Amino acid sequence: MSTALVPVLLSFIWSLNPAVVSKWGKKSPPLLFTSARALFALLFLVPALFIFEAKSTAFSANKLPVGVLLAIFLSAVTGPGIGDAAYVKSIQLLGGPLAVTISYTYIFFTELIAFLLGVEKVTQRALLGSIVAFIGVVVAVAAKNSHVKLEGVAYALVAAVNWGLATVLIRYAREYLDPVALSIVRLSIVVVVMLLASFLLKEELSVNRGFFVAALVTGVLGWGVGMALFIYSIYSIGASTTAIATALTPILSQITSRLIARERVSLRLLLGALVVGAGIAISNMH
């Protein structure tokens, strides 16, 4: 598969998450749900580790520099950990279409953090693209007017900031772990940390058939397949470019949320998602 097509495939896979959570995981406790997703993803990825003959360093953490180990741990806790738990909560409060559109401002935070850490240079084209994408988010939020729950917006922004940080931190593991191995290490951390957080914070355990359906689908597809592809893309074309390219997700989510969760999508919300898509096009112009 062409590297350029990977973010497009990712966008389609990740566009399913809001719809699936809205339909089957609406009342799922976010922290426990996140831990369950990671566990299902691991059940898919561990066999893949041997099938694709991932590097032996995957389970030789003592060979990794302390700084790289810290970056991997933080990328797990902030991204698929705190970030996705906040994302699930925002979907529950705002609905899939609006939550995904706001959360995908993570492209802006990815570029900002990458620049501040000196990991990547931010081109004028990429900066303009992220600004256009952000305008799309503003339009999408305005589409809901007074019906927007500020708590839901806050959770979506928490997801965006954490995803941005995690996306940049992944770059530090490039020379040590391949995408499948790194995915397994990160998800193993998520299972333990999120389960512990759920217990310590005394999260209400509302677990039913829908909980397992949503965790299985979003875990295996979103993380089992999606995370490995995401890391591969970051390794290949960089954190900023990958983040911008996956901003196609909010557009596709308008369709999947309508088809799967039967959520209403207003014209202004759709317009906002299309503006986000325009930001992708601008960022990838040559």
Q: How high is the pLDDT of residue 91? A: 94
Q: How high is the pLDDT of residue 62? A: 52
Residue 173 and residue 179: Cα distance in Å, rounded?
9
What pTM was estimated for this model as a whole? 0.87
Q: Which residue has the higher pLDDT, 182 or 128?
A: 182
Chain segment 193-223, per-residue pLDDT in tens: 999 999 999 998 889 999 999 999 999 999 9
Q: How high is the pLDDT of residue 164? A: 95
Q: How high is the pLDDT of residue 1? A: 58
Q: What is the DSSP string of 66-92?
A: HHHHHHHHHHHIIIIIIIHHHHHHHHH
Q: Which residue has the higher pLDDT, 142 or 103?
A: 103
Quickly state the pLDDT bin for 52 (edges 50, 70, 90): low
Residues near 244 by beta carbon (within 8 Å), at least 6 away in sequence: 107, 111, 126, 129, 130, 133, 279, 280, 283, 284
Which among 247, 253, 256 has a CA at the least distance from the CA of 275?
Answer: 247
Q: How high is the pLDDT of residue 147? A: 62
Give Cα 148 distance to the centre of its chain.
Answer: 22
Q: Quote the strand ranges of 56-193, DSSP E.
A: none
Of 70-79, 142-151, 249-258, where does mean pLDDT reach its minimum?
Answer: 142-151
Average pLDDT estimate for 226-241: 89
Torsion of CA 168, 173, 179, 183, to 10 degrees: -80
> Is the pLDDT reported for residue 278 higher than 50?
yes
Buried b (16+ CB within 10 A) or exposed e, 4-14: eebbbebbbbb
Quickly state the pLDDT bin for 86 (edges 50, 70, 90): very high
Residue 220 and residue 227: Cα distance in Å, rounded?
10
Q: Report the share of the chain in percent with pLDDT over 70.
A: 90
Q: How high is the pLDDT of residue 44? A: 93
Q: Work out the angle between the directed axes of helices 66-76 and 179-200 (0-180°, nearest 10).
A: 60
> Is the pLDDT reported for residue 143 higher than 70?
no
Highest mean pLDDT among 46-55, 110-119, 241-250: 110-119
Contact yes or no for 96/144 (Cβ under 8 A): no
Q: How high is the pLDDT of residue 203? A: 94
Residues near 79 by beta carbon (within 8 Å), at least 6 away in sequence: 162, 163, 165, 166, 167, 169, 170, 186
Quickly state the pLDDT bin for 284 (edges 50, 70, 90): low
Residue 168 and residue 218: Cα distance in Å, rounded?
23
Of 81-90, 138-147, 211-220, 246-255, where does mean pLDDT reach its minimum?
Answer: 138-147
Q: How high is the pLDDT of residue 159? A: 97
